[in-house]
Amino acid sequence: LRANMAEVALTRIHTVKRTKQTLEVLTKDAWELVFVFAEESHARGLEEFVIARAMPDTCVKVFAFLYKSPGPGFPKMYDAVAEYGRLGFPNKRFVIEAELNKDYEFCSTYPSIFVLPAIADLDLLNHVAKFRSRQRIPVCVYEHPDTGAGLYRSSQPLVGMRHRSKQDETYMHFLRNEKQKKMVVMDSRPKTNAQANRLGGGGFENKANYKHVKIYFQDIENIHVVRNSLATLRAAYKGGASREKMAAAEQQWHKHIGLVLQSAKDTVTQLVEKRASCLVHCSDGWDRTAQTVSLSELIMDPYYRTVHGFAILIEKEWCSFGHQFGRRHGHGMNIRNPKDSQRSPIFTQYLHAVVQLLRQFPTSFEFNENLLIFLLQEVYTCRFGTFLFDNERQRVKADVFGDTVPVWAYVFVNAEVFTNPVFSETKGMLPLDKLRTDCISLMPWREYHCKVIEGRSSLDEYKFEEQLL
């Protein structure tokens, strides 16, 4: 769709509203376009055209499947075995498991390859899967090279009001680091929310049964609160709100960003300074868990702060472990319902947290804000296959890896646009004592939001190479 020489990806469209000869189009990131026609029939015709093409009934009808195929010259971006090998797996404590979930029957929303404690047998794993929401058992995604502490991710245990699993309790015991007395659980939710989940059969590791577990609630709000907060912020920028209302909206949004950053900081503190293995989970383990785990790894591992490493990090923790890109961004299930309560800018929130890290440590990242802005745009356009569907199983079934172009092909061929000119390659983690997470220390990203609302982007000034091979 073109308006005043600006291009609008059809899947970026959130709602279409017609009043006689006027058609109002609102995008998912708050850009509002108004078309006025001489004839009402023309307005009606465009309305029908946009609805039919902007809201397809299945994800396989989006533009990514028509865009230039990567062909044999562009290999698959993410190789799980290679990345886990870089991280030091397998070793005496862990195995790379490639058979258990190769057909996605053990856990339909997990990748086909993941890392498990070598001591855990199949019978134990099957029992643990039955006691974890959606069978998303604790798996290791990172082992600190100096302390040996493991970073794990999972979903909540199904304790309900009175259930327990001795197998799950035993498995948690296996996750501890050497000489670690209590396994640390970083529950991303506010404690009241986690307690409420018990009424629905979920919950958290009750200390009465998990005697070797210490749990910390991180107070990160759910998808509905985050969605409303960002909508309030954009409304303040868009509507010319008073300075006080704009500051209040920014502060509320920064509160949510700060909580995620603080959770990552606390997790790294446990892994590095206290040499304690940590399990991170929320409810299902694909939203707040992905935020905390990937930010923690970004802080600890300088490889993930390179352009290529950041791509691997997103592929690993967000795409392969089942963040619902399709559902959260409205190009998966329930596409034609703009009021779908499952839509939420969780990935946007994560990238905003990364922006804060870039600004606090300007020479520590090989990539710049342009890359984050580009990803924020492309998560809605459906031009590339990377952010389609909700998990690896669905992408394999739709042959996303063979029939679409990964977003990283475009990034790598236009690397100069996304490269930080003041990057200074260093070893080791970001200094925790200099990492600020409070609202006052976080910097507004007003320029980005205001440009989006106006249908502009800081990337407009660049000429991009379209030849990907």
Annotated catalytic sites, by residue?
Answer: 282
Residue reference for tokens 């603080």? 262
In Å, what is the CA distance from 273 to each residue of 211, 270, 440? 23, 6, 26
What whole-number distance in Å separates Cα of residue 413 and Cα of residue 207?
Answer: 51
CA atoms of 465 and 469, how far apart (whole Å) = 10
In sequence order, the β-bridge partners of residue 3 are: 6
**Distance separating alpha carbons of residues 397 and 404, to the nearest angstrom:** 13
Structure tokens at 381: 């356009």
CA distances from 363 to 165, 176, 359 (A): 47, 35, 9
Encoding tokens for residue 210?
A: 């998990």
Give 176's Cβ-side CA count (13 Å radius).
Answer: 17
Q: How far apart are CA 139 and CA 327, in angstroms?
A: 24
392: nearest Cα among 139, 142, 104: 104
